[in-house]
Amino acid sequence: MPITQQKLLQTLPAPADESAFFVWRKVMSRISELLAGGRNVLAYLDMLAWAEGTSTSRATAIDGYDVIVTGIDGKPEVFNDFTDHPFAKGRASKVINSKGLRSNASGRYQQMLKDWPYYKAFLKLPDFSPISQDLLAIQHIRESRALPDVVAGRIETAISKCRNIWASLPAAGYGQREHLLDDLLKQYRQAGGVLS
C-alpha cells in the first residue's frame, strides 16, 4: 500500500490549539534528535530546507518533504506518493531554465534521482518518506565530512563543505540562487542551532 501525503499528515503531532501552530512548525525535521545526532543537526537540516526553498514553498503541506523542483513555468508542484522518488518510475525531468537545464530534484532537500537508487540500497531506506529524506540528507553531510562540524556548531565550515551538494549554498557554482552566509546562519539559529 503506497505511503501517501494524507497518511503522513495523519501521523504528525497536531498543535494543542491554533496559537501553538507556529511553535509546532519550528521543529520541522521529522527525524528524532537522537537519531540525527543532536539538535544542531536538526537545525542544519531545517536551514537546508529553507535554503532550498522547500519548507517555505506555498505548495507544501508537510514542510517541504513533498516538493518537486520548480520548472521554467514557475508553477510549484508537490507529490503525495512517498513509496519511491517521484521520478523513479520514468517521469521525465523538468526543464528549469531557459538554457534547457533539466532537474528531477525532489523532497525537502531536493534529492536527485541519479543518487537515489544507490543511497536507497546503501542506507536500506524503505521509501522516500520524510524520515528517509532526513537520513539521506545526513548521509550527504557525512560524506562531505561536515557532520562533525555541524554537531560542534561550526556551521560556516559545514556550509562550505556541503556547497557541492546543495546549489542554494554560497559559492556552490551551479548558476542557481545562492543564499548569503548571514541569512543561513540566522535560519540555523532560529531553528535552535548553536554556533561554536
Overall average pLDDT of the 23-47 stretch: 81
DSSP 128-139: SSHHHHHHHHHH
Residue 178: inside a domain: yes
Residue 21: inside a domain: no
How far apart CA 27 and CA 14 sit, in angstroms, is: 12
Which CATH number do you get for residue 81?
1.10.530.10
Catalytic positions are 52
Overall average pLDDT of the 183-190 stretch: 97
Residues 112, 37 contacting (CB under 8 angstroms): no
Does residue 52 have a pLDDT over 90?
Answer: yes
Residue 14: inside a domain: no
**Owning domain of residue 50:** 31-190
What value, to the nearest 5°, has the Cα angle with vertex 54 and ends 38 and 183? 70
Residue 63: inside a domain: yes
Q: State pLDDT tens for residues 154-175.
A: 999 999 999 999 989 998 878 7
Q: What's the grid cell of residue 48? A: 537546508
Overall average pLDDT of the 35-50 stretch: 97
Q: State pLDDT tens for residues 115-168.
A: 999 999 999 999 999 999 999 999 999 999 999 999 999 999 999 999 999 989
Does residue 89 have a pLDDT over 70?
Answer: yes
Residue 4: inside a domain: no
User: For the chain, how many structural domains are there in total?
Assistant: 1
Overall average pLDDT of the 53-57 stretch: 95
Residue 22: inside a domain: no
Residue 195: inside a domain: no
Long-range contacts of 60-66 (CB under 8 A, 24+ apart): 61/5, 61/9, 62/5, 62/8, 62/9, 62/12, 62/130, 63/25, 63/28, 63/108, 63/130, 64/28, 64/107, 64/108, 65/8, 65/30, 65/107, 65/108, 65/129, 65/130, 65/133, 66/5, 66/107
Phi, psi of 114 (to 5 degrees): -60, -30
